[in-house]
């Protein structure tokens, strides 16, 4: 518990105090945001705002995680390092994309397939490690081949097709989750503070889930014998909560500078890294399908892009001219063009995000109550 609090506090202090230094550094390096001419006109004033801010809170998260363990004396775990690995790995992919944008002063950095290829490579490495190296104490690997909702679902075990086929299917499933989650956060990052605030709610959910799983953990020596039949079979639940706390604290400090009017943007460096960390926490805590609810806002905003493009293509094929459902996608820009103030959209979307997270945590707890009724 002490390690969790120290990790969160360290991440918070790091980003809150040091982000202004990074802002000045990024300005000197001319890492300014490029703004597309076909976007909302109100965004043109943001041209040149330092981007790649994800570097700041990724560093804050890693340092917070390290300091929390160093001060508390708690052992590092493979599960915690896997979350860090996926966050940093996808952050590097995003950094390359951001750097190409700022260097060439255009809205396109990496090509679409090049970016996906980078995400796939990082996700594949995660999948291989997550099914390897069982714990000497519990015999559990960080992940399992079962698809999970709130726990592993036995009848959705990919290993039923054999060890090799199951491993390949697991890698494909992980890749789908990682690419989907990272791109969903990336699409959401379109207004000052929007993705940062929504991510704070999502990672807070994993602090609660990890801490609760630890208290009701099958290998917790202090567990109540009456609940052993319904305990959680997760490898390192407390450390997952700790790394989630480090990320949350770092995001809170970063939001101070990222809220409207933003002095720094997270860029693809941050949005891809955050999406990767969310996917990792969902996979390792055995709550994969619950991520759909925890990241409900990200799903809605990404869905608006998919629906808009699909409707445009279908109507163009059917009528010879493409039509649109929204004035502009992603969804936040639709409301901008309808005249909503940016801060109004952000706060209302934060409320939506918090309601999704509350529903997810409530469902998680309801499952426990139902099993122990």
The pLDDT of residue 110: 75
- The tokens describing 114, both together, are 């090049």
DSSP β-bridge partners for residue 32:
50
The pLDDT of residue 42: 56
Give the Cα separation of 296 and 198 in Å (integer).
10
The pLDDT of residue 249: 97
Q: Quick check: helix, strand or coil at residue 50?
A: strand
Q: Quick check: helix, strand or coil at residue 315?
A: helix
Give the Cα separation of 177 and 186 in Å (integer).
14
Give the Cα separation of 140 and 142 in Å (integer).
6
pTM for the model = 0.93
pLDDT digits (tens, 9 = 90+) for 30-44: 877 665 555 555 554
The pLDDT of residue 36: 57
Q: Do residues 182 and 276 make contact, with C-beta atoms less than 8 angstroms apart?
A: yes
From the list 62, 67, 80, 11, the residue with the least C-alpha distance to 239 is 80
The pLDDT of residue 253: 96
Q: Please give the full DSSP string across 118-153, using - where no structure is assigned.
A: HHHHHHHHHHHHHTS---TTT---SS-SEEESSSEE
pLDDT digits (tens, 9 = 90+) for 280-319: 999 999 999 999 999 999 999 999 999 999 999 999 888 8
The pLDDT of residue 323: 87
From the list 108, 130, 70, the residue with the least C-alpha distance to 276 is 130
- The tokens describing 176, both together, are 């789908």
Q: Do residues 53 and 258 make contact, with C-beta atoms less than 8 angstroms apart?
A: yes
The pLDDT of residue 257: 94
From the list 72, 87, 64, the residue with the least C-alpha distance to 245 is 64
Q: Quick check: helix, strand or coil at residue 52?
A: coil
CB contact burial 174-209 (16+ within 10 A = b; e otherwise): bbebbbbbbbbbbbbbbbbbbbbbbbbbbbbbbbbb
The pLDDT of residue 291: 97
Chain centre to alpha carbon of residue 171: 19
Give the Cα separation of 105 and 307 in Å (integer).
29
Which residues of the chain fall below pLDDT 70? 33-48, 105-109
The pLDDT of residue 304: 94
The pLDDT of residue 104: 72
């Amino acid at each position: 518990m002490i390690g969790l609090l120290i990790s969160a506090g360290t991440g918070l202090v790091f980003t809150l105090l040091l982000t202004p230094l990074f802002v000045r550094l990024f300005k000197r390096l001319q890492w300014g945001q490029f703004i597309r001419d076909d976007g909302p006109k109100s965004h043109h004033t943001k041209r040149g705002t330092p981007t790649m801010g994800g570097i700041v809170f990724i560093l804050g998260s890693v340092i917070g995680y390290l300091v929390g363990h160093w001060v508390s004396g708690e052992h590092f775990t493979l599960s915690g390092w896997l979350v860090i690995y996926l966050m940093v790995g996808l952050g590097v992919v995003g950094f390359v994309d951001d750097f190409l944008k700022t260097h060439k002063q255009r809205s396109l950095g990496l090509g679409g397939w090049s970016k996906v290829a980078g995400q796939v490579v990082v996700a594949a490495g995660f999948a291989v490690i997550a099914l390897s190296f069982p714990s000497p104490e519990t015999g559990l690997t960080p992940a399992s081949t079962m698809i999970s909702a709130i726990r592993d679902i036995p009848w959705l075990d990919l290993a039923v097709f054999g060890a090799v086929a199951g491993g390949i299917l697991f890698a494909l499933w992980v890749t789908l989750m990682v690419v989907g989650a990272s791109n969903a956060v990336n699409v959401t990052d379109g207004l000052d503070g929007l993705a940062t605030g929504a991510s704070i709610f999502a990672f807070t959910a994993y602090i609660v889930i990890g801490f609760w799983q630890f208290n009701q953990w099958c290998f917790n020596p202090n567990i109540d014998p009456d609940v052993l039949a319904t305990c959680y079979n997760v490898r390192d639940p407390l450390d997952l909560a700790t790394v989630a706390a480090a990320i949350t604290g770092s995001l809170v400090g970063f939001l101070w500078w990222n809220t409207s009017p933003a002095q720094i943007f997270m860029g693809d460096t941050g949005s891809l890294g955050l999406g990767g960390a969310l996917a990792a926490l969902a996979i390792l805590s055995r709550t994969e399908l619950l991520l759909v609810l925890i990241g409900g806002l990200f799903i809605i905003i990404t869905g608006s892009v998919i629906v808009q493009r699909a409707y445009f293509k279908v109507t163009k094929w059917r009528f010879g001219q493409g039509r649109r459902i929204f004035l502009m996608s992603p969804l936040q820009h639709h409301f901008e063009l309808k005249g909503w103030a940016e801060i109004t959209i952000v706060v209302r979307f934060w409320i939506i995000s918090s309601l999704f997270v509350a529903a997810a945590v409530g469902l998680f707890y309801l499952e426990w109550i139902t099993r122990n009724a």
